[in-house]
Structure 1
């Protein structure tokens, strides 16, 4: 691994030569020397520094972005080579979109660690676009997304089906209707719809549902958190379309209700996203196996 890249990235993230020296267990002059060596190699000043701050120059921003990707590739290479002679262990970086990441992934991780306690998972939660971008930058080993996504450098493999319902407050008139009552487009027209932000698989599913009926909500609020949407619907601010996995507890408690509506339930796929390379660490292989063969489906 290029030590100067590691030192430079750490300085950029810590914004301090002193904290970098402490983090990497080296002297501050050594940190400065590595940064100077990299600046000579690139032929550009990479950091603006004073007694009060350390920040990236424009050239530094470019080098930092690519250095992160290069270091990610080094880490992945080392892990693959080490895996040839070792049992499944070590780090695995998992990215997941919100629904699966917040309501299913903890159970998958628990099942995996029960059998493979030496694996060290880290988790990033973001929308589908975030996960794809992080994989392309080699900041993740594997991703789990909702809805459609494609890129020629990534392999996208559907592995499970998700079911989504129209969700309302327990006090909403729709919830009080007879069990066989089905909400029509005319019924839905005056409602305020609370949806996820663009780039989210949940938002993509809602937009497709609207488009399938040529339906354009008159009032819409966009939130970046499924939990915030649930709380808002429960408070009576509007209605939403959410995965049954994400409202399982609220449905059991009776604070939210799933109601019949035209075109529901809406079905979509959870997909596994990996690098196009056929090589994966043993930790990643184990995680994929747990994901595909586990018993998390009992949550749905």
Structure 2
């Protein structure tokens, strides 16, 4: 079917429906020779005669009848394709794949996704989680479209926009005795629970201790911020977590939440490939993620 011309197919259908080339030409607002030429070109493309004259009436051949049996499906498929393309240009639809860390997924993304869903109900959004290295690899391989990750991250193919400085805090059981200033030395003899060691968030915590010459050996390492909070709550140790992960705990009395001395932050950035085509849905998602800092 290579080279099948839809205009030629339309001329063929009109000839059969009206029983003559001249009537088809009038219906299509073409000249009769133009319609005849289009039908001949279609016959050459398919390698079979499609129309024969019986008396003064043009009728389909056996091959023409076979083609007519498929015309409706062809027209429906074309109409569906055109509608799908127009939905991309007239409205916001399609798919956007976001990669981020588990903490940001839980504590930052929900209101953003809710807002996008409300404004653009036809937009399909999928979210995958992982550490910065895993998300960067997925972004590089184009298995995701956009990322919200913990810095540092580098790469000439990436457009990187820092959006949020997230403070780290200590959380501890309410009955754990603590001084006013929480320094690395204060925590060096405490049972400390940290993130698993594979990601940037853990490296940031480790470097905070190393600046005071302390190599901390945590009592436990976990990949889930919610699991870490529960372990602290039952008294198994204290933990260093992003403040965004404990905002809903600050009014409760079962945990102590303290800033660190010196202050410790991580920087979150929105990352996208420089060569990524910004269709409408991805463009709106990018704008929403870049606005995180102004909303926090």
What is the TM-score of this pair, normalised by structure 2? 0.66
For 2:193, the equivalent position in structure 1 comes to: 194
For 1:259, the equivalent position in structure 2 comes to: 258
Q: Aligned Cα RMSD in Å? A: 2.2
Name the CA distance, whole Å, in 2 between partners of 1:211 and 1:220.
Answer: 17
Name the CA distance, whole Å, in 2 between partners of 1:293 and 1:190.
Answer: 40
Query: Alignment partner for residue 152 of structure 1, among 152, 156, 175?
Result: 156
218 and 94 in structure 1: CA distance in 2 versus 1, 3 angstrom threshold? closer
For 1:61, the equivalent position in structure 2 comes to: none
1:290 aligns with 2:288: yes
Name the CA distance, whole Å, in 2 between partners of 1:235 and 1:87.
Answer: 50
The secondary structure found in structure 2 opposite 1:140 is: coil
Deviation at 1:203, TM superposition (A): 0.8
For 2:205, the equivalent position in structure 1 comes to: 206
130 and 136 in structure 1: CA distance in 2 versus 1, 3 angstrom threshold? same
Structure 1 residues 122-271: aligned runs within 5 Å: 122-174=126-178, 181-264=180-263, 266-271=264-269
The secondary structure found in structure 1 opposite 2:90 is: coil
In the alignment of these two chains, the number of paired residues is 212
Instruction: Report runs of 4+ in structure 1 exceeding 4 Å deviation.
Output: 81-84
Deviation at 1:294, TM superposition (A): 5.7
82 and 153 in structure 1: CA distance in 2 versus 1, 3 angstrom threshold? farther
1:103 aligns with 2:101: no
1:92 aligns with 2:91: no
287 and 204 in structure 1: CA distance in 2 versus 1, 3 angstrom threshold? same
Query: Is there any run of 5+ residues in structure 1 with no aligned partner, and where?
Result: 1-80
Query: Is there any run of 5+ residues in structure 2 with no aligned partner, and where?
Result: 1-84
Q: Could you report, residue by residue, the CA deviation over 1:228-279 in whole angstroms, capped at 9, with x for unpaired residues?
A: 1111111211221111111112222233221244213x12211011112152
Deviation at 1:297, TM superposition (A): 3.0
Structure possessing the higher radius of gyration over alpha carbons: 2
291 and 118 in structure 1: CA distance in 2 versus 1, 3 angstrom threshold? same
For 2:270, the equivalent position in structure 1 comes to: 272
